[in-house]
């Protein structure tokens, strides 16, 4: 008996979440942003857009499939299984980061804000997630290269 695939949704904390963790309150975040000529409403709008994209992707997963969710900061401790389908909700850089941790699992890139972040690796809107998961989309193979520096540092790049 084979098990249903597991969809692993990968995302990163929003700027608002990071600012709240750093400054503690919305009032302090607002003050911090204003001192830098920025507006809290813009940061909140991007937060809401990402949360809506995550909700759309989660609701698009077929009911009989298993689910997982991991934040970018926990990728180095997360074990992807061979049957996983990885859905990255974010920007191109997050897809490249995820590529370091997967082997042959398909990775689907969902863009939370196409007008702001037109990407090559995250080219689908959140509404497309259901159709993409249920169909067999055409896969585009990417090459990962690794260079090892004289000091032992490993540097990776995704083509």
CA atoms within 13 A on the CB side of 44: 8
Identify the domain containing residue 91 by its residue range: 6-11+58-158
Residue 152, Ramachandran bin (φ over 0: left; ψ between -120 and 50: alpha; else beta) = left
State both tokens at 5.
Answer: 């695939």
Centre a 10 Å sphere on the Cβ of residue 55 and count the other Cβ atoms it contains.
Answer: 11
In a domain, 89, yes or no: yes
**pTM of the model as a whole:** 0.81
In a domain, 32, yes or no: no
pLDDT at residue 16 in the model: 96
| Ordered DSSP codes for the chain | -PPPPEEEEEE---HHHHHHHHHSSHHHHHHHHHTTT--HHHHHHHHHHHHHHHHHHHHHS-TTSEEEEEEGGGGGG----TT-EEEEES-HHHHHHHHTT-SS--EEEE-S-TTT---SS--B-GGGHHHHHHS-PPP----EEEEE-TTS-EEEEE-
In a domain, 37, yes or no: no
104 phi/psi in degrees, rounded to 5? -115, 10
In a domain, 62, yes or no: yes
In a domain, 27, yes or no: no
Question: Residue 137 is part of a domain; what is its CATH number?
Answer: 3.40.50
Structural domains in the chain (count): 1
pLDDT at residue 157 in the model: 67
> pLDDT tens digits for the chain (159 residues)?
467 789 999 999 999 999 999 999 999 999 999 999 999 999 999 999 999 999 999 999 989 899 999 999 999 999 999 889 999 998 888 888 898 888 888 888 888 877 777 667 777 888 888 888 877 556 666 666 778 888 988 777 666
In a domain, 46, yes or no: no
pLDDT at residue 143 in the model: 64
In a domain, 20, yes or no: no
CB-based contacts of 6, cutoff 8 Å, min separation 6:
65, 66, 67, 68, 81, 83, 84, 85
In a domain, 116, yes or no: yes
């Amino acid at each position: 008996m084979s098990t249903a695939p597991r969809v692993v949704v990968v995302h990163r904390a929003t700027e608002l979440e990071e600012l709240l963790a750093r400054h503690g309150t919305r009032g302090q975040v607002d003050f911090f942003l204003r001192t830098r000529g920025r507006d809290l409403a813009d940061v909140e709008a991007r937060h809401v857009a990402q949360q809506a994209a995550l909700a759309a992707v989660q609701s698009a997963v077929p009911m009989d499939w298993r689910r997982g969710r991991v934040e970018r900061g926990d990728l180095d401790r997360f074990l992807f299984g061979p049957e996983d389908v990885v859905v990255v909700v974010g920007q191109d850089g997050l897809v490249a980061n995820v590529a370091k941790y997967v082997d042959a699992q398909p990775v689907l890139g969902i863009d939370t804000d196409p007008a702001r972040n037109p990407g090559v690796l995250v080219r689908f809107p959140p509404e497309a997630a259901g159709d993409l998961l249920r169909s067999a989309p055409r896969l585009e193979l990417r090459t990962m290269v690794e260079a090892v520096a004289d000091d032992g540092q490993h540097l990776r790049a995704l083509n």
